[in-house]
Amino acid sequence: MKFFVDTADIAAIQDLASTGLLDGVTTNPSLIAQTGRDFIEVVKEIAELVDGPVSAEVTALTADKMIEEGRYLASLASNIAVKVPLTMDGLKACRALRDGGAMVNVTLCFSSNQALLAAKAGASFISPFLGRLDDVGEDGIALIEDIRQIYDNFGFETEILAASIRSPLHVRDAALAGADVATVPPKVLNQLIHHPLTDKGLDAFLKDWEATGQSILKGK
């Protein structure tokens, strides 16, 4: 499964990119607004930091304006994925942008029927929102499973991008359900590596090593 980070924090993106684990970035107008910086400048800077897709979202509501904004965003860098909402106008924009060669991430997906329509419109990515579904008593992971089966049934190439992820358990369950990508906040991505037994084992190894009085680099 690919890992995208869901943030517009440049420092966090740089730190995670240095691990080699980062496959892309997702942003939205709210995340970029939190930086207090110019929207376009932030998008361009992020696109320079990572090789993989960087989702940048349109703010228009009509298809014509979405297409206009999307084409401009796609022109900023070759790895920009234009993010459009899962509305009829968004699907029209998706088809037009894909026909023009742009990557498109169709966002705010909450049903398998919506995901089916997005795939038929040529979406590069579909973004089902797990956490928001869980918040209203629905099963976000079950939605991933349904989308996976539908896409496999008909050979759709649209990648399932699990979004609104709140915890490491969401990441594990999304991977088991067949998501192609998980986009996670930096905090959650960093939490994936932690386990108390790893910390305990490392502490024991270091104490034993310290007792020997040796140094691996001694004499270098």
Confidence of residue 219 (pLDDT cuts 50, 70, 90): confident
Which pLDDT does position 92 carry in this prediction?
A: 98
Tell me the C-alpha distance between 204 and 156, whole Å: 50
**CATH number corresponding to 2-194:** 3.20.20.70
Tell me how crowded residue 205 is: count the other CB atoms within 10 A of its CB: 10
Inform me whether the pLDDT recorded for 176 exceeds 90.
Answer: yes
> Mean pLDDT across the chain, nearest whole number?
96
Which pLDDT does position 50 carry in this prediction?
A: 95
**Digit-coded pLDDT (tens) for 50-77:** 999 999 999 999 999 999 999 999 999 9
Instruction: Write the CA distances from 79 to 1, 26, 34, 198, integer angstroms.
Output: 19, 12, 23, 36
Catalytic residues: 83
pTM equals 0.94
Inform me whether the pLDDT recorded for 198 exceeds 80.
Answer: yes
Tell me if 111 sits within 8 A of 144, measured CB to CB.
no
Domain ranges of the chain: 2-194
**Digit-coded pLDDT (tens) for 1-48:** 999 999 999 999 999 999 999 999 999 999 999 999 999 999 999 999
Q: How many residues are listed for the chain in this entry? A: 220
The arithmetic mean of pLDDT across residues 64-93, rounded, is 98
Which pLDDT does position 185 carry in this prediction?
A: 95
Which pLDDT does position 218 carry in this prediction?
A: 83
The H-or-E segment that residue 181 falls in is strand 181-184
Inform me whether the pLDDT recorded for 206 exceeds 80.
Answer: yes
